[in-house]
Amino acid sequence: MSTRHKSMLSGKMMQGAVLDSFKKLNPIWMIKNPVMFVVEVGAFLVLLQILFPGLLGKDHNTGVNVAIFLILLITIWFANFAEALAEGRGKAQADSLKKTKQQVMANKLIGGSTRSVPSSELCKGDVVVVSQGEMIPADGEIIEGLASVDESAITGESAPVIKEAGGDFSSVTGGTLVVSDRIVVRITSDPGQSFIDRMISLVEGAERQKTPNEIALGTLLTVLTVIFLIVVITLKPIADYLNIHLEITVLVSLLVCLIPTTIGGLLSAIGIAGMDRVTQYNVLAMSGKAVEAAGDVNTMILDKTGTITFGNRMAAEFLPVDGRAEDELARWAAVSSRFDETPEGRSVLELLRRQGLEYDESLAAAGESIEFKAETRMSGVDLQDGRRVRKGAVDAIIKWVSSQGGHIPADLEAITNQVATAGGTPLAVAVDEMIYGIIHLKDTVKPGMKERFEQLRKMGIRTIMCTGDNPLTAATIAREAGVDDYIAECKPEDKIDVIRREQAQGKLVAMTGDGTNDAPALAQADVGLAMNSGTVSAKEAANMVDLDSDPSKLIEVVGIGKQLLMTRGALTTFSIANDIAKYFAIIPAMFMLAIPEMGALNIMKLGSPLSAILSALIFNAVIIPLLIPIAMRGVKYRPMSSQRLLSRNLLIFGLGGVVAPFIGIKLIDLFVHLWV
């Protein structure tokens, strides 16, 4: 898997974030974040009190007021800095993508001849010809030809990929390079609407929408802010009635410490960083909702071929017949595969090497290659000494041997059925009129898949494998891979049916796909991950696109989604919990002088009312930048039940959110008290 992790603290990124954080002090921008907007209004009121003493009531300690104003200003700036830093990573990625956009000349096909035009003039429906060494001018689909395409500018992978007309791998992206052959491409996007344009727009955050959970949390924070605002406003007349003088700066300090400023300052950064995190894994999320939905997935639909298995039948074992030796069969199988460049043919030679056997390669090399044909269903080598070696379908080999008057081994049928029952494909090997045995071909499960599915099971996610194989083969692969369920002889409608059935039970469903026939199911799924190598319709139907075309990456996407939810939940827990300690700093400080009995609540034994207020405010400001790395990188997700996750969350971030402020405020007060 290709990842493009960028340093969060690169110099250029930090400089940009610092400048943007000052720009975000604009009230028009700040009002988008109600919690921090209230802090900014409070800072403005304190500034008025500094500039015009007595304007908002009696207040004689200008030095303390200046300190409170600066602390509040720093608090707002830290919150803006967190958001600007998260956006800066997206902008850095967007800048690198913009470098891949270049004006190239295209060979536009007009009435049977070609005319050279700038790529910016191409429109949807135009047809262009792209030859070896030329850039593909815009997004499109191959309608004629086959070519090897270098997509490293987009995906970061250096190995070229094969693209051809009429298949699931016909989609091409503007800015990629044709390294061999010639193709005819029909353009599928208008200027400014290409895949690269959409990527740039998305990673810059211009089209980022808040997710439902983010909106719900934002609403909660707004409600809490309004409630505490009402509480603080009503404190003033109550205190006046009791002849207790509460300065405006003290009330502002109380409000700032009561409202959830920590999570309010980090909420936007968490959301932006969540989308940025999947982009670093070369997955393009069309919205933050897709990332968050991945975190709540209950069911995962996966194709078998290319996702769970390698997608190519590989030689697994040599099964001799009629009492022949296994190494003898293996050597003739290798001779028959000498000129076979298919994955199956190469796997025979690889299996021979793994078993520590050798064969006479010169014997095969001197022979004449017999290519596989659909009519004969066999391939092999005609040796110089007249012997003919063949490898192919069992019934085809039987027919070939019988035509020469050869003997059919009695145990051939039983071994053939044994391989078929195990879900494999039997290939017979014969030399002239003698059959030596069977090569067991099987679609091999990728290493580590069973462990990954077990990990998903611990997350509470049910896995369903979809395959067009017969039930016997499907059951064998499902058992080896460790999936929870499977659908054999699966058609596109079956995928939609299982998605709808799961969704009807209130579950969120994720699936992968790359073909046009996958598009309906990708659109139906809550999280649809399309392969960049797939068709345009598949990419348009999905809400995520994997630039590396690795279907198994859906597992990582789910982990990132859960990490996003955990990060937001953990920091919310911490933010609300650390308010508890601030209550014990501010409330006693406000009323201790007028009501000495309130001193019993001063359990932290803070030096004075003023030092208590300043210490709580300083801690409130400092905690935001300290939590920025967690907001950006995310809380590490560990597969476990929801109950265990909640208990762990409360223990670490809940208890930590209570204890940390007690320690932090007390340590700050030791120094602040000396000044005050």
User: Is 372 a known ligand-binding residue?
Assistant: yes
- For residue 69, give the H/E element and its range: helix 62-100
User: Is 514 a known ligand-binding residue?
Assistant: yes
User: Is 344 a known ligand-binding residue?
Assistant: yes
- For residue 299, give the H/E element and its range: strand 299-303
> Residue 598 is encoded by which pair of tokens?
């309130």
> Residue 214 is encoded by which pair of tokens?
């983010």
Contact 196, 154 (CB under 8 A): yes
Which residue intervals of 242-325 are DSSP H helices? 248-258, 261-280, 288-295
User: Is 379 a known ligand-binding residue?
Assistant: yes
- Per the listing, tokens 């910016």 go with 120
- Gap between the Cα atoms of 139 and 598, Å rounded: 71
- Gap between the Cα atoms of 447 and 475, Å rounded: 18
Contact 76, 40 (CB under 8 A): yes
User: Is 69 a known ligand-binding residue?
Assistant: no
User: Is 537 a known ligand-binding residue?
Assistant: no
User: Is 95 a known ligand-binding residue?
Assistant: no
- Gap between the Cα atoms of 286 and 466, Å rounded: 25
What is the radius of gyration, based on Cα positions, of the chain? 34
User: Which residue among the candidates 303, 443, 526, 546 is catalytic per the annotation?
Assistant: 303
User: Is 304 a known ligand-binding residue?
Assistant: no
User: Is 340 a known ligand-binding residue?
Assistant: yes
What is the CB-side half-sphere exposure of residue 93 using CA atoms within 13 A?
A: 35
Contact 269, 628 (CB under 8 A): yes
Residues 6+ apart with CB under 8 A from 26: none
List the Cα angle 236/239/243 in 5-degree steps: 135
What is the CB-side half-sphere exposure of residue 601 using CA atoms within 13 A?
A: 20
Contact 198, 167 (CB under 8 A): no
User: Is 24 a known ligand-binding residue?
Assistant: no
User: Is 173 a known ligand-binding residue?
Assistant: no
Our answer to whether residue 303 is catalytic in this structure is yes
- Gap between the Cα atoms of 646 and 338, Å rounded: 59
Helix (H, G, I), strand (E, B) or coil at 483: coil
Q: Residue ranges for the binding site for Mg(2+)?
A: 514, 518
Please report, in range form, the residues annotated as the binding site for ATP: 340, 344, 372-379, 391
The catalytic residues are 303
Known binding residues:
340, 344, 372-379, 391, 514, 518
